[in-house]
Amino acid sequence: MARTTGLVQRIYIDANAENACVFIGPTPASVELLFVPRRDTGPAHTSAFLTSMLDALGQALVSQHEVTVQHPENDGEIYSVELR
């Protein structure tokens, strides 16, 4: 399990809405690119959980609050968000 801490610098949702790319780091020039998958194939509660993570990341972006996200080692898929 890896943890990345920093400010949300940018959120980008691709044209097909399959992934939301999240740029986290201390400055816009120094970020780590992570993502939240936007799959519609799972159960409704999974989609609601992913949407709530994106909502939290969006709020952190607007308010400039630091976040800590958890993701697997050598993988950028976010599975946990903590607002600090």
What is the CATH classification number for the domain harbouring 28?
2.40.50.110
What is the overall mean pLDDT for the chain? 92
Ramachandran region, residue 52 (left: φ > 0; alpha: ψ -120 to 50; beta: rest): alpha
pLDDT, residue 40, reads 67
Which residue spans within the chain are E strands per DSSP? Answer: 2-13, 19-27, 30-37, 66-71, 80-83
Q: What element of type H or E holds 61?
A: helix 44-63
Residue-range definition of the domain harbouring residue 69: 2-83
> Domain count of the chain?
1
What is the value of pTM for the model shown?
Answer: 0.89
- Positions of the chain with pLDDT under 70: 39-41
